[in-house]
Structure 1
Amino acid sequence: MQNYLEFNFKIEPLQPWNEILMAELIEIGFDSFTEEHDGILAYIQTELFKEEELKEVHLLQNPEIAISYTFQEMPNINWNEEWEKNFSPINVENKVSIRAEFHENQNLPHEIIIQPKMSFGTGHHATTYLMIQQMLDMDFKNKTVLDMGCGTSVLAIFAKQQGAGKTVAIDIDEWSVENSIENAARNNVELEISQGTADNLGSENFDIILANINRNILISDIPTYVAVLNNGGQLLLSGLCFFDVDDILEVCNEQKLTLKKKLQREEWVSLLLEK
């Protein structure tokens, strides 16, 4: 088990800034969150925390929002236990259920069963919801698919359930790779899963690329995604707040991508683009 720091952020007003703060904290290495009535608890591996990066978080410098925090060491935290206490099933359009094995079957047309090794906040729920919502209207039959920054590989699993052909799932974190292997087996689908980043993409091309990550990584990696995306292929993005959209679309326009569909849920956004 890893040693973690727990930060207790008090936020006034709470909405929508709690979700936006989580998005900014993810970019500097925080990976797990629990919502409180007056703020959030945020967790980061002790060895990854850099005080100077926290001080540069934009939201903490906004005079219109009152944010204070304290922190403490949390050695040997049991993330499975934390996750089970805080995670509830996701229901997308009454068509797709994303749940754990200990949750009751919702009897929807599609079901994905996952057991993450780490907890995650509702921001991830919203972006996962948006990605699945977009995927419901996409044609995956026999398409080659890349799930970049796969996390639990829930998107790759759903792509396979929708008829995708070869499906590759990549994440920078070892725990995500291990968890993806477990979740693929749990859902009886075959994925090619590996640890890495966009820099590890070779000459293999894809019909559909899924990337639910965050603004900075997407801005950096979109040109690489485009390079391995087939002509006429689709790039589906999320992990974005509404105020990130213009910057993302600027990069997409430079890469000659066409915006086909934009969805928003609370302050989170998903963009479907075509090459």
Structure 2
Amino acid sequence: MPWIQLRVNTTELKAEQVSDMLMGWGAQAVSFLDAHDTPIYEPMPGEVIYWTNTIVVGLFDAEHPMAEVISQLQNVSFFKHGLEYKLEQLEDKDWEREWMDNFHPIKFGERLWVCPSWRDIPDPTAVNVMLDPGLAFGTGTHPTTALCMQWLDQVIQPDQTVVDFGCGSGILGIAALKLGAKRVVGIDIDPQAIEASGKNAERNNVAGQIELYLPKDQPKLEADVVVANILAGPLADLKNIISAYVKPGGLLALSGILTSQAHVVMAAYADEFTFDPIVEQEEWVRLTARKVEL
């Protein structure tokens, strides 16, 4: 089906109201974009944050009477002094197929490959993670995930217990098991992530070694390795919870952190951990550390 995209410039105070209006006037979907490339970080559960200058994007059927939608917007009180908008035709594509066609096998470190479940394995002798992320974050294409995968390839030893905090698609925990870990505990606030992780674990024949929990059900344990690829704000706020999972002398990796945020996150953990040099990729960093043995 061909589509038309309407982009409306507004403010954070009006973004949700504009979204509701577009949905009421026939938009099939609505999303939000930053008008000025201002960074915005992961909100806490239940929190919604918009940019100061927000673009509300409505997706409409190409046959929809867009002149009526524009006229209705122009009559909205806060747009009467000027409505900034743009209409764009979108190419008619099978968007799911487009995404699948552009997700290729990726190598991390010396041993590890992540392979889309619908593609051939490039190296059958390597450690291969077969992945279908579904709606959950984590394909290996984002620098934060890539940094964590490279680290796991270096540090995982046989029989270790690993906690994947913010497991998303399950990519990190499954990689740890494929690299030799004995047990993985995955935790995520999103039920869709728990579902995706479970399906990917089955796909990789490690379902019996991974335990998946929502935060309210998370167990108490101390692990050899803990990896948390979320974002800087939650990493700092959840320091006590995350650090409690690391046994004395155990290893910790934190990612989802911009270079400018690294010192804040390190400061939050400095009382219990000794940090390695920061590793950076495309303005994102990975922090790794060892927990002090008392």
Check whether TM > 0.5.
Answer: yes
TM (normalized to structure 2)?
A: 0.68
Query: Residue 141 of structure 1: CA displacement?
Result: 1.4
Q: What is the CA–CA distance in structure 1 between the aligned matches of 2:126 and 2:139, rounded to whole Å? A: 23
Of the three residues 139, 156, 159, the one matched with 2:176 is 159
Q: What is the CA–CA distance in structure 2 between the aligned matches of 1:74 and 1:92, rounded to whole Å? A: 40
The residue that corresponds to 2:289 in the other structure is 273
Shift in alpha-carbon separation, 1:92–1:226, aligned structure 2, 3 A:
same
Q: What is the CA–CA distance in structure 2 between the aligned matches of 1:162 and 1:85, rounded to whole Å? A: 27
Q: What is the CA–CA distance in structure 1 between the aligned matches of 2:232 and 2:169, rounded to whole Å? A: 19
* Equivalent residues in 2 for 1:173-184, closer than 5 Å: 173-184=190-201
Matched, 1:258 2:274: yes
* Equivalent residues in 2 for 1:111-126, closer than 5 Å: 111-118=128-135, 125-126=142-143
Q: Which amino acid aligns with 2:234?
A: I
Q: Which amino acid aligns with 2:121?
A: N
Say if 2:189 and 2:214, in contact at 8 Å, map to a contact too: yes
Structure 1 counterpart SS, 2:155: coil
Provide Cα deviations, 1:170-199, integer angstroms capped at 9, x if missing partner. Answer: 1111111111111001111134333323x6
Structure 2 counterpart SS, 1:136: helix
Of the three residues 37, 47, 51, the one matched with 1:55 is 51
Q: What is the CA–CA distance in structure 2 between the aligned matches of 1:196 and 1:169, rounded to whole Å? A: 9
Shift in alpha-carbon separation, 1:79–1:208, aligned structure 2, 3 A:
farther
Percent identity between the two aligned chains? 27
Shift in alpha-carbon separation, 1:27–1:74, aligned structure 2, 3 A:
farther
Q: What is the CA–CA distance in structure 1 between the aligned matches of 2:135 and 2:55, rounded to whole Å? A: 23
Query: Residue 242 of structure 1: CA displacement?
Result: 0.6
Shift in alpha-carbon separation, 1:128–1:121, aligned structure 2, 3 A:
closer
Say if 1:156 and 1:191, in contact at 8 Å, map to a contact too: no
The residue that corresponds to 1:244 in the other structure is 261
Q: Which amino acid aligns with 1:193?
A: E
* Equivalent residues in 2 for 1:49-198, closer than 5 Å: 50=48, 53-55=49-51, 69-72=55-58, 83-84=99-100, 87-93=103-109, 95-107=111-123, 109-118=126-135, 125-189=142-206, 190-197=208-215
Say if 1:180 and 1:193, in contact at 8 Å, map to a contact too: no
Q: What is the CA–CA distance in structure 1 between the aligned matches of 2:153 and 2:138, rounded to whole Å? A: 23
Shift in alpha-carbon separation, 1:205–1:94, aligned structure 2, 3 A:
closer
Matched, 1:230 2:255: no
Shift in alpha-carbon separation, 1:120–1:4, aligned structure 2, 3 A:
farther
How many residues in Structure 1 have an aligned counterpart in Structure 2? 230
Q: What is the CA–CA distance in structure 2 between the aligned matches of 1:196 and 1:4, rounded to whole Å? A: 28
Structure 1 counterpart SS, 2:57: strand
Query: Residue 244 of structure 1: CA displacement?
Result: 1.1
Tell me: higher relative CO, structure 1 or 2? Use CA pairs within 8 A at least 6 residues apart. 1
TM (normalized to structure 1)?
A: 0.72
The residue that corresponds to 1:221 in the other structure is 238
Shift in alpha-carbon separation, 1:120–1:227, aligned structure 2, 3 A:
closer
Say if 1:259 and 1:272, in contact at 8 Å, map to a contact too: yes
Q: What is the CA–CA distance in structure 2 between the aligned matches of 1:239 and 1:249, rounded to whole Å? A: 13
Query: Residue 102 of structure 1: CA displacement?
Result: 2.1
Query: Residue 113 of structure 1: CA displacement?
Result: 1.0
Query: Residue 229 of structure 1: CA displacement?
Result: 1.7
Shift in alpha-carbon separation, 1:122–1:188, aligned structure 2, 3 A:
closer
Say if 1:208 and 1:235, in contact at 8 Å, map to a contact too: yes
Query: Residue 117 of structure 1: CA displacement?
Result: 1.4
Shift in alpha-carbon separation, 1:120–1:79, aligned structure 2, 3 A:
farther
Q: What is the CA–CA distance in structure 2 between the aligned matches of 1:132 and 1:258, rounded to whole Å? A: 21
Shift in alpha-carbon separation, 1:206–1:85, aligned structure 2, 3 A:
same
